[in-house]
Amino acid sequence: MDKPHYEPAIPDGTNGTATQAISADGHSELGKRYMIPARQGRAVRLQKGQRLRIINPRGNQVCDFFALVENTPFEFLSMEHCRTALGRIYVRSGDVLVTNRRRPLIEIVEDTSPGVHDILIACCDQPRYEQLGAKGYHDNCADNFRMSLSAIGAPIAHVPSPFNIWMNIPVSPEGDYAWEPPVSTPGDHIVLKAHQDCIAVMCACPQDMTPVNGKDAVPSELEFQVDAAP
């Protein structure tokens, strides 16, 4: 399914993400709980100071999280810049995550899980699943990112590496890493504060060929809501 010419905005396939945005422009109702179906993604616009609560109802699901600065598609939440800013490869509550322009964008203000998340691994895409042996099109987070933004009329200039919430990628002293099930539990949530107006994209990762979504490798739904600045 290789594209003759790679275009960041064009997905390799489609699913309900493309047609089931939370609203035409991505604005939410404050305090309303929204569901992200398994294997799909959703985009939501956040104003500076607002808080985004992401919930893991079944406890086993990874959320690929992306954020773009509003009206600036070339500035986005950047894991490589976060690793430099934090001086480590793991995040903690209280950390402020930065853009590719090294500006604060997202702050982790609350985390009820054990705090095991990943900022190393790129989002899954069609070539990744082909390498794993998938036949035909496979839902993936890169396409969910593209479709989530397209569904609300937002431009897509690049597919960045995500903040992989609840993804468990332990790293050995020798630098090797493994793909392990999440250690989060049903109902765990994380709260993220926007430091700038931005568009957040959340994907209920479709990975079912490694155990990152649980030992049974069965993706499930996520939920989220936006709350006003306190």
Q: List 63's β-bridge partners, or say none.
A: 165, 204
pLDDT of residue 154: 97
Domain boundaries of the chain, sorted by first residue: 32-227
| Closest C-alpha to 147, from 41, 71, 222 | 41
pLDDT of residue 68: 98
Structure tokens at 91: 């995040």
Whose tokens are 């569904």? That residue is: 151
pLDDT of residue 2: 53
Question: Is 1's pLDDT higher than 60?
Answer: no
| Closest C-alpha to 51, from 192, 171, 205, 173 | 192
pLDDT of residue 73: 87
